[in-house]
Structure 1
Amino acid sequence: MSVRGIRGAITVDVNEEQPILNATIELLHAIVADNEIVPDDICSVFVTVTNDLDETFPARAIRQMNGWELVPLMCALEVPVKGSLERCIRLMVLINTDKTQAEIRHVYLSGAQALRPDLSSKA
């Protein structure tokens, strides 16, 4: 078994608590479904947001999900590069798995598809 990282990102239209929490849940659900994982397989989740999203901690949404109470979570600010994608939430989900790197499915939703069009399979 190896530790693998699964990347994901999603954008929100507004800097408001509920849209941030909803987008975080949507992204995590997609990562979990696409990679067939359960909370017990997860080592930790690292969450970053762009500096224009400051109404709530996205990890709050994950903490409230059934079965995720014990998963280590950490939030941070994304590096503020001029011209970078705005209102973006990014996840790095570290899991214990037998899957190869090639079998991992990264998830980019909404405006975040522009970050990795080569990996974006969601509409």
Structure 2
Amino acid sequence: MDPALFVSLYPGGGRPAYHLKMMLKVILYAYANRIYSSRQIAKQLKENIYFMWLSGHQTPDFRTINRFRSERMKDVIYEIFFSIVDLLRQEGLVKLEDYFLDGTKIEANANQCDFVWCKSTEKYDQKLEEKFRKIVA
């Protein structure tokens, strides 16, 4: 990953922050294990040996994790995501040739007229592909 992405996140000053790479590793590992709640991530940092190893036995609280996700990572989350996808592609672990999109339409009681249609899905895929190509280039 480009280290310049991390430098722009913190302007400096104030109390020393948790290391950016450590926070990112913990969050990505939590997401890979379907843990999305900042409270659950903070709990795993105290109970789960894998999380302890990734964090170097540091235990940021749930507010710190949530602030990191919502404020610090807000501007660079797409660049980081696409750099990870590109790294996986370069290592041969992911192929970008075939992918599958679950197009299941489930009618809800709250709003019976709101469905995801084929054209909007294709338009979204094209924008995502263009954004990915731009970042990789």
Structure with bigger strand share is 1
- Shorter-chain TM-score above 0.5: no
Asked which structure has the greater RCO (Cα within 8 Å, sep 6+), the reply is 1
Query: TM-score scaled by structure 2?
Result: 0.20
Larger radius of gyration: 2
Query: TM-score scaled by structure 1?
Result: 0.22
Structure with bigger helix share is 2
